[in-house]
Structure 1
Amino acid sequence: MDSDSAVRDYLPVPEKKYPAGPTLLSVGADQAEKKYWAKFKRPVVVKEYASVTHVEFAPTRPHDFAVTSSTRVQIYSCSTHTVKKTLSRFKDVAYSGSFRPDGKMMVAGDAQGTVQIFDLASRAMLRSFNGHKDTVRVTGFSSNLTQVMSASDDRTVRIWDIPSETALFVLDEHQDHVRTASISRDNPNIILSGSYDHTLKLWDTRSPTPCIHTMNHGFPIESALFLPGSSMIASAGGNKLKLWNVLTGGTHFQTLHNHQKNITALCLDGSGRRLLSGGLDNMVKVYDVEDWNVCHSFKYPAAVLSMAVSPDDTHLVVGMSSGLLSIRQRVVKTEEVVGVMQRRAKIKGGTLRHFRRGTSHKGDVGDIVVERKKVKRMQKWDELLRKFHHGKALDVVLGGGNGERPAAPVMVVSVLEELIHRGQLVIALGARDDVGLEPITKFILQFISNPKYTTTLVHVAEVIMDMYAPVIGQSVLIDELFIKLRFHIERELSLQEELVKTLGLLESLMLASQRMV
């Protein structure tokens, strides 16, 4: 690469980042999350006849929820928390009672391998699909409303056409029971499935070879789902929650292990900003999808098998292996509900009107304001580094001799590390008199005991000593700085020795106290 192209492609020296403790802002955000989830109080507990294997909220108001347990699916009222309807036309244990996107129909599977569609108004069975050879654990409607998906212990995922009652696709590349499957909300042709064979598979029904990606979770997979936008996938198996990037070919980018036992259920909240996981350790964990930290947790009396959060974020329903159903409701102020409805109405039907408001419009209450950031001007030391003037760049970042203010210590260390990376530190420090050496020596003297900068500054000090040892004694100014630096390092080493002795003494006292107890 020639010098001209290097100048054009130059990137400013980034400020080095160091691990920081919790700030007031992060503490405040954590407290806000705790207050939010603490509003889900006074849980109503209902006893079902058997384990609650599936919970799902209706996508349309009033967001009633379906509970699948034993040989029936019950529809609970979201306002009274009592049973409104019961679907019991199953010959064996029912699984995965799921609503159609318009809330008018429901699909469910059973232990005999049958998939049935019900009209919720009359509770009449409209369609019955027979093709699976084992228990159907998962069902769901496609967003096009004319197809349903089912996944079974017979290792297949099937897509059924409702009008013709035939299987359009049979996806059969799994080697063990398929326990989770879902259809992308953004594209009904994209399907995700997870199996006890440890693999996640991403299918595209438009492709001649439908399986387009295979991801190895490493444990039998109990649950998996698309995150908002369908560009990322979350999968649960064993006690690990793994995250995958669809856009880069299904690559794994993070593993979370906050549960002590197997994770059995995953779901998103109504806003899509939080992911919930439930497991056999009786815990439900809430993750913030921005940083994937656990922001809250709930403890339940039995192993969690299923759960769901209502689309309006007012209800959290959890089903357990003991047959208990926990219903938590969050008290919401009227103004909050009105604000959410108004924002959703604007997004849904007011897009054209929104963009026709004109440039003079100042925005409404609750609008998200995007501010344009001014392009930062390149720092003077970056301009000099860009031209390979390494010594001058070091002088400038240290304050120079022209009345310029020195940069922040972290920026000085960042420039020093850039010079080390380029192999130009000796060049930058070379050919200096006592006046030229004074700024860097004073900086080392002031900050070498700071644990964040110690490693870099010790290296720089060793380079200076090696370079200027032959001329020590020729400048009173530099000699005094070197003597001060020596005394400072000796004092720091002495302090470290005393701290080690103190820690050893404390450990001895603690061990002695434990023996006495």
Structure 2
Amino acid sequence: MAETFPVKPKLRPTSGKSTPTAESKYWKSFKIPKDIETTPSKSLNYPITSLSFSPVAPHDFAATHSASFTVFSGKTLEPKFTVNDFSDAAASSSFRCDGKLLAAGDLTGTVHVFDAKSRNHLRRLKGHSAAARVVCYPRAADKFHLFSGGDDSVVKYWDVAAEKCVLNLLGHKDYVRCGDASPVSDDMFVSGSYDHKVRVWDVRVSSAVSVAELNHEKPVESVIYLPSGGLIATAGGNFVKIWDVIGGGKLLYSMESHNKTVTALCMGKVGRVGGDEAEQNRILSVSLDGYMKVFDYAKFKITYSMRFPHPLLSVGFSPDSLTRVIGTSKGILYIGRRKGKVESADLGDPVALGAVEDEPQRRVLRPSYFRYFHRGQNAKPAEGDYLIKRPKKVKLAEYDKLLKKFRHKESLVAVLNGKNPENVVAVIEELILRKKLLKCVTNLDAEELGLLLGFLQKYSTMPRYAGLLTRLVNKVVELRAEDIRSSDQLRGHIRNLKRDVEEEIRIQQSLLEIQGIISPMLRIAARR
């Protein structure tokens, strides 16, 4: 049997949804563990001004808020303790390279040093005449120094053990609000200020003058070193810029993807920790517009974006690439954890994260399972595969089924009852091609003929169908004249049809008269 197609096949648009990339799946995998917190966030009631992770497993993290800071467990993500030994609001915090000490600044200009385990208050470093907004320990091996910056426009280099300032680094003309330590040298760090300048410092230089100066052209809210130590990223206004420090402070790229001020930057990684995939570094930026953006600075493009309901002030990413924390102006912490394992700080044994359970193993498919016979149907073909598509089953309407069975009159009546003019015209054209239309009209009974005349009276004057249907009207009247005279209802259809045709002719004549008036005027206007 020959294959049958519908009279008027309907074209359906394909879905416009894009396929999620591997990187977007990676960032979406950071979710709040269900057995840790029933709500999607932890509230500290005050704006989260800074976040910092311990460099030592299990990577506890500290959040400064109001006149205190809270340390959260890297294993359970629950608060371990809160320190309130501040005379004013806390502004910044930083863990020492061994994770044993934690330093934080406050708005009185004092830098406080605490024991990260016992919470003992060990040092108070006083020297800033205004708020100490930046506190940062060296990253590598130096356990005795830290640097701080404040609203007095001064950057200070401290000897923590002696509780004294070793160097006063001058050069900024406005508030110093951010800074970072070099990942390759304990003697170098960078600071950013509201004077639009970013300065690179080397404490080995006796003159205590910055070794490089960069102009961000906006008040600098955040600055970080990239892992190589030769590049830095700065944030200010709605810009994030990448600079080549080794190359003389050359601007490599300027990204403007946020709609409001970018408040914080941090480094993140993409790739399986300890796996075969190579890790790739990313810059995470958060802004007052509520967006977190992930930036691939190797390709200079945004690879992921996530929207939060509140303005964002701070962001942190754990060194083991398993935990991501975002702080908001409403005091809410959005903590996301990815599935994986961390090493115990004491035993060095891999310990499963308390917040994450391994996925249950899927049952092996057997021939007795229904899914066994449908396996692999959703698999996407690889490049070079020869794809054989299964033909789709064509769905036929009732009139198409009747045409398939050569029941022409029944097909015409069925499509007339459907009241879709496009389908009716398509069936009429098909019957003309089969040379069966006039025979169908002859065999219609009085009720079916009334249905056809009602359709012709309604659509014969429509321009898109007039060419075909007006000819059909003449044939119907010629073939069924006797039946039309003997039926009042059929005569009514003819009267209505005649009235509509006369009205259409009158309209066309009026349009021709108007065209005759306008055409000479248009020709005269064209000559001028």
By the TM > 0.5 criterion, same fold? yes
Q: Quick one: distance in 1 between partners of 2:25 and 2:190?
A: 35
TM-score, scaled to structure 2: 0.57
Q: CA deviation at 1:333?
A: 7.0
Q: CA deviation at 1:81?
A: 2.1
Q: Deviations over 1:292-341 (max 9, x none)?
A: 21111111111110010111111110000111111111123799xxxxx9
Q: CA deviation at 1:272?
A: 6.1
Partner residue, 1:287: 295
Alignment check: 8 A CA contact 1:286 1:296 kept? yes
User: Structure 2: 5+ residue runs without aligned partners?
Assistant: 1-17, 34-39, 270-278, 344-348, 351-528
Is 1:181 aligned to 2:179, yes or no?
yes
**One-letter amino acid matched to 1:170:** N
**One-letter amino acid matched to 2:300:** W
Q: CA deviation at 1:145?
A: 0.8
Q: Quick one: distance in 2 between partners of 1:50 and 1:334?
A: 31
Q: CA deviation at 1:185?
A: 2.1
SS of the equivalent of 1:33 reads helix
Alignment check: 8 A CA contact 2:293 2:305 kept? yes
Q: Quick one: distance in 1 between partners of 2:340 and 2:306?
A: 20
Query: After the TM superposition, which residues 312-323 of structure 1 pair with which residues of structure 2 at under 5 Å, given as runs?
Result: 312-323=320-331
Q: CA deviation at 1:29?
A: 11
Alignment check: 8 A CA contact 1:30 1:295 kept? no
Query: After the TM superposition, which residues 81-480 of structure 1 pair with which residues of structure 2 at under 5 Å, given as runs?
Result: 81-142=77-138, 143-209=141-207, 210-270=209-269, 273-332=281-340
Q: CA deviation at 1:42?
A: 3.8
Q: Quick one: distance in 1 between partners of 2:22 and 2:341?
A: 16
Q: CA deviation at 1:163?
A: 1.8
Partner residue, 2:507: none
SS of the equivalent of 2:221 reads strand
Is 1:72 aligned to 2:62, yes or no?
no
SS of the equivalent of 2:56 reads coil
User: Cα RMSD between the aligned structures?
Assistant: 2.2
SS of the equivalent of 2:25 reads helix
SS of the equivalent of 1:41 reads coil
Q: Which has the larger radius of gyration?
A: 2
**One-letter amino acid matched to 2:171:** E
**Cα–Cα, structure 1 residues 285 and 180, in superposed 2: closer, same or farther, change >3 Å?**
same
- More helix per residue: 1 or 2? 1
Query: Matched residues, percent identical?
Result: 38
SS of the equivalent of 1:273 reads strand
TM-score, scaled to structure 1: 0.58
Q: Quick one: distance in 2 between partners of 1:170 and 1:147?
A: 14
Is 1:51 aligned to 2:47, yes or no?
yes
SS of the equivalent of 2:22 reads helix
**One-letter amino acid matched to 1:277:** S
Alignment check: 8 A CA contact 1:287 1:294 kept? yes
SS of the equivalent of 2:211 reads strand
- How many aligned residue pairs are there? 311
**Cα–Cα, structure 1 residues 107 and 31, in superposed 2: closer, same or farther, change >3 Å?**
same
Greater shift, 178-187 or 151-160, is seen at 178-187
**One-letter amino acid matched to 1:123:** R
Q: Quick one: distance in 2 between partners of 1:235 and 1:103?
A: 26
Q: CA deviation at 1:79?
A: 2.7
Q: CA deviation at 1:190?
A: 1.2
Q: Quick one: distance in 1 between partners of 2:109 and 2:148?
A: 10
Partner residue, 2:519: none
Q: CA deviation at 1:30?
A: 6.9
Partner residue, 1:394: none
Structure 1 runs (4+) deviating above 3 angstroms are none
Q: Quick one: distance in 2 between partners of 1:296 and 1:211?
A: 35
Alignment check: 8 A CA contact 1:98 1:141 kept? yes
Alignment check: 8 A CA contact 1:132 1:154 kept? yes
Q: Quick one: distance in 2 between partners of 1:311 and 1:48?
A: 24
1:38 to 12, 25, 28: 28
Q: Deviations over 1:330-388 (max 9, x none)?
A: 123799xxxxx99xxxxxxxxxxxxxxxxxxxxxxxxxxxxxxxxxxxxxxxxxxxxxx
Q: Quick one: distance in 1 between partners of 2:341 and 2:102?
A: 32
Alignment check: 8 A CA contact 2:58 2:342 kept? no
Q: Quick one: distance in 2 between partners of 1:62 and 1:185?
A: 20
Q: CA deviation at 1:49?
A: 2.4
SS of the equivalent of 2:98 reads coil
**One-letter amino acid matched to 1:82:** E
**One-letter amino acid matched to 1:217:** H
SS of the equivalent of 1:36 reads helix
**Cα–Cα, structure 1 residues 211 and 332, in superposed 2: closer, same or farther, change >3 Å?**
same
Q: Quick one: distance in 2 between partners of 1:29 and 1:238?
A: 33
User: Structure 1: 5+ residue runs without aligned partners?
Assistant: 1-27, 336-340, 343-517
Q: Quick one: distance in 2 between partners of 1:38 and 1:275?
A: 16
